[in-house]
Chain A
Amino acid sequence: MLTYVARRLALALTTTAAVVTITFALVRAAPGEPLLAGADERFVPPETTARLRERFGLDRPVAVQFVRYVANLAHGDLGESFARHRPVAAVLRDALPNTLLLGLVALLVSFALGLGIGVVQAVRAGTWTDAALGGAALAFYSVPAFWLGLMLLLVFGEWLHWLPATGMIDPTVHGSLSAAGRALDVARHMILPALTLALVNGAAVARFHRAAMIEALGADFVRAARARGLGEGRVVLRHALRSALAPAITLAGLSVPALLTGSVLVESVFGWPGMGRVAYEAIFSRDYNVIAAVAVVSGVLVALGNLAADIGVAAADPRVRRR
């Protein structure tokens, strides 16, 4: 088990290193002076440009810059956000927890939905229920997440006025609410964006899980359990579900990139103050340090997600470890 974990850890570290290197290369390779363009100088005479280059270390050879970049990253220094006049690390520190919160809730809901639907489909394979659910899953799998978000906003936010339109909290009252009230405020605002992400991701989970469950239900030990006279319910829940769990955990880990991607679009639609929206705003302000930092952070998150999934699978299914 330990060697397995060590190998997966090595992979996670390599991916992180790759993301950092690629990000650095992209920003430095860009034409023009992307870092200077963002510097807060109103009139830039040549002497100031030279001073700026020195301050940002752009006059050193590339290798030195790279080492400095990595060293800064290790210390948690992600550079300065030109648009917001704050260190990028501070900006992300405010935004990342919101994305994680939304992502985690969406992940849980999507798995509840997807597993549930997948199980039902597998048990009723070939019937109209299966076809209908499969069709619905395919539809939600094929819809653009941001458009789905807009439509949900239109229906629930506007026409029915059930749910708040944008943001994460209601700033007028939030400060004066109790802890429970504050949590409820956030929860109300989280329903629509989380639902959007969950529907799209849940469809993918359902499609995948249906296949996994059908295979599990057809396996030998399940047939043996049936032959022994165990009730269908028990057969499904205890045996088939357990063996389909391993691929489900992998899928959970693999969902992290999809959720992060979705976060950029969904957060802008709903005004959710998370990392995705920060990245979106950084595009229009040419705030390269922010975008680069977001790329690095999401790379790390994806690597962690895969690692967690790998470990989870190995813990659940001993056969995997021996590979």
Chain B
Amino acid sequence: MNPYRSAVARFAANRFALAAALVVAALALAALGAPILAPADPIAQPDPVGLQNQPPSADYPLGTDRFSRDVLSRLLYGARVSLGIGAAAALLAVTIGAGVGLAAGLASPVVDQVLMRGVDVALALPRVFLILLVLALWENAPAGAVIVLIAATGWFQTSRVIRALVLRLRETEFVQAARALGAGRRELVLRHVLPHIAPAVVVSATIDVGNIILLESGLSYLGLGVKPPSPSWGNMIMEGKDQLLTAPWVAAAPGIALLVTVLACNLAGDGLQDAFDPKGAR
């Protein structure tokens, strides 16, 4: 029985999760299409005297900031950063995690123990402070560095989950049977193990994406990560926090965007988790 088909059906039946997934898709499309959708250049300052801090209007649907830059355009371009880094880092993280988990699950008990003890230790590391340290030391870190740092410090939970899954799968009838029939290691992994851990990897990724987006926005808010004038949702909030009274839309818009995005990711992630494992405690 194809586990996927029933999972998709269950997911589709969950209205909230479906709506959330559609929202995520819409956001991703908006981010990709920013150059076409954005009404203005996100870093252009048409009139820093006359057009600064304008409230939302027909010309500027989300208003302007204190340099007369269009908030909507900056929001769309900022989405590319926040969503892009979020997606890339999440993908990288679960890939590493799955790889390590797979290796631990299939390898000898010694290797397994070593790897898992390492993961235990790594889980206790203060992730944000280490990232802060690296970014503070590294003056002009490229955007890729942020992705790698976030991914490198965030794969541990995934590896645990995958390892547990792999260990269970080793004992199932399919695998025993295949082994008895003389299937090679490679074939075992590709045909019997991977398809069954794929759902867990996907769920892991969707659950991580939300946290990663929040982490990246926090780093941008602190002035690390993407540097102004290039917009990211985090640094837009940083720039807008001084104008909370006079121009609240500048900080409110990216904050709400973050909330909606992460909420949708988390809902979709929950929905996926339910879809693949309905007997879970929900």
**Residue contact B237 to A288, C-beta cutoff 8 Å:** no
Q: For residues 105 through 126 of chain B, which have their beta carbon under 8 Å from a beta carbon of chain A? A: 117, 120-122, 124-126
Question: Is A294 an interface position by the 8 A CB rule?
Answer: yes
Please, which residue of chain B has its CB at the minimum distance from the CB of A11?
A: B120
Residues of A within 8 A of B245 (CB): 154, 158
Is the CB of A19 closer than 8 A to any CB of chain B? yes
Q: A147 vs B281: C-alpha distance in the bound complex, in angstroms?
A: 31
Judge if B73 is at the interface, Cβ distance under 8 Å: no
Q: A27-B133, A288-B136, A292-B133 are in contact. Are A261 and B125 (CB under 8 A)?
A: no
The reply to whether the CB of B98 lies closer than 8 angstroms to some CB of chain A is: no
Cβ of A195 within 8 Å of any chain B Cβ, yes or no, is no
* A window 153-168: CB within 8 A of B: 153-154, 158
* In contact, B125 and A15 (Cβ under 8 angstroms): yes
Contact between A142 and B266 (Cβ–Cβ < 8 Å)? yes
Q: Is the CB of B136 within 8 A of A282?
A: yes
B135 / chain A contacts, CB cutoff of 8 Å: 283
Does B170 have its Cβ within 8 Å of any Cβ on chain A? no
Of the residues A211, A261, A295, A299, contact of B124 by C-beta under 8 Å: A299
0/1 interface trace, chain B 54-91, chain A, CB 8 Å (1 if under): 00000000000000000000000000000000000000
Q: Is the CB of A264 within 8 A of B222?
A: yes
For A305, the closest partner residue in chain B by CB is B124
A257 within 8 A of B: yes
Complex Cα distance, B129 from A280, in Å, reads 10
- Measured CA separation A260–B132 after assembly (Å): 13
Nearest-neighbour CB distance to chain A for B212, whole angstroms, equals 12
Verify A288–B137 contact, CB threshold 8 A: yes
Q: Do B121 and A14 touch across chains, with their CB atoms under 8 A apart?
A: yes
> Does B258 sit within 8 A of A, measured CB to CB?
yes
How far apart are A73's CB and chain B's nearest CB, in angstroms?
16
Verify if B99 is at the interface (C-beta below 8 Å from A): no
Number of interface residues of B (CB under 8 A): 46
Question: Which chain A residues numbered 245 to 302 have a C-beta less than 8 Å away from chain B?
Answer: 257, 260-261, 264-265, 268-269, 279-280, 282-284, 286, 288, 291-292, 294-295, 298-299, 302
CB distance from B231 to the nearest CB of A (A): 15
Which residues of A have CB within 8 Å of B125?
15, 18-19, 22, 299, 302
Given contacts A154-B248, A284-B223, contact A257 B255 (CB under 8 A): no
Chain B residues with CB below 8 A from A295, complex form? 126, 129-130, 132-133
Q: Quick check: B266 and A257 within 8 Å, CB to CB? A: no
B132 and A264 contact, CB distance less than 8 A:
yes
Knowing A143-B262, A283-B223, say if A298 contacts B244 (CB, 8 Å): no
- Separation of A199 and B281 alpha carbons in the complex (Å): 23
Q: Report the minimal beta-carbon distance from A300 to chain B, rounded to whole angstroms.
A: 9
| B135: nearest chain-A partner, CB-CB | A283
CA A12 to CA B124, docked complex, whole Å: 8
Complex alpha-carbon distance, A168 and B138, angstroms? 32
B residues 237-282 in Cβ contact with A at 8 Å: 237, 241, 244-245, 248, 251-252, 255, 258-259, 262-263, 265-267, 270, 280-282
| A240 adjacent to chain B (CB < 8 Å) | no
Q: Which of B223, B244, B259, B280 contacts A142 (CB 8 A)?
A: B259
Rounded to whole angstroms, the CA-CA distance of A52 and B94 in the bound complex is 45
Q: Does A198 contact B (CB under 8 A)?
A: no
Interface majority SS on B: helix, strand, loop or mixed?
helix
B281, A141: Cβ atoms closer than 8 Å: no
Contact residues of A between 113 and 168, Cβ < 8 Å to B: 138-139, 141-147, 150-151, 153-154, 158
Q: Is A30 an interface residue (CB 8 A)?
A: yes
* Residue in B218, B223, B245, B265 whose Cβ sees the most chain A Cβ within 10 Å: B218
Give chain A nearest CB distance to B59 CB in angstroms: 26
Q: Chain A nearest CB: distance from B186 CB in Å? A: 34
Q: Is B134 interfacial (CB-CB < 8 Å)?
A: yes
Give residues of chain B (174-216) contacting chain A, Cβ–Cβ below 8 Å. Answer: 210, 214
Give A31 to B134 CA distance when docked, in angstroms.
11
Which B residue's beta carbon lies closest to that of A150?
B241
Beta-carbon nearest neighbor of B266 in chain A:
A142
In the assembled complex, how far is the CB of residue A33 from the closest CB belonging to chain B, in whole angstroms? Answer: 11
Given contacts A279-B132, A299-B126, A303-B124, contact A30 B137 (CB under 8 A): yes
Known: A26-B137, A215-B281. 18 other contacts (CB 8 A): A11-B121, A18-B125, A19-B126, A30-B138, A142-B263, A144-B262, A146-B237, A214-B282, A260-B129, A264-B129, A265-B222, A279-B132, A280-B222, A282-B136, A288-B133, A295-B126, A299-B129, A302-B125
- Mind listing 21 A-B residue pairs with CB under 8 Å? A15-B120, A15-B124, A19-B126, A22-B130, A26-B130, A31-B138, A142-B266, A143-B259, A144-B221, A144-B237, A146-B218, A158-B244, A214-B281, A283-B135, A284-B223, A288-B133, A288-B137, A291-B132, A295-B129, A299-B126, A306-B124
Chain A positions near chain B (C-beta within 8 angstroms): 11-12, 14-15, 18-19, 22-23, 26-27, 30-31, 34, 138-139, 141-147, 150-151, 153-154, 158, 211-212, 214-215, 257, 260-261, 264-265, 268-269, 279-280, 282-284, 286, 288, 291-292, 294-295, 298-299, 302-303, 306
Give 8 closest A-B pairs by Cβ, nearest first.
A147-B255, A142-B262, A15-B124, A30-B137, A295-B129, A298-B126, A142-B263, A211-B281
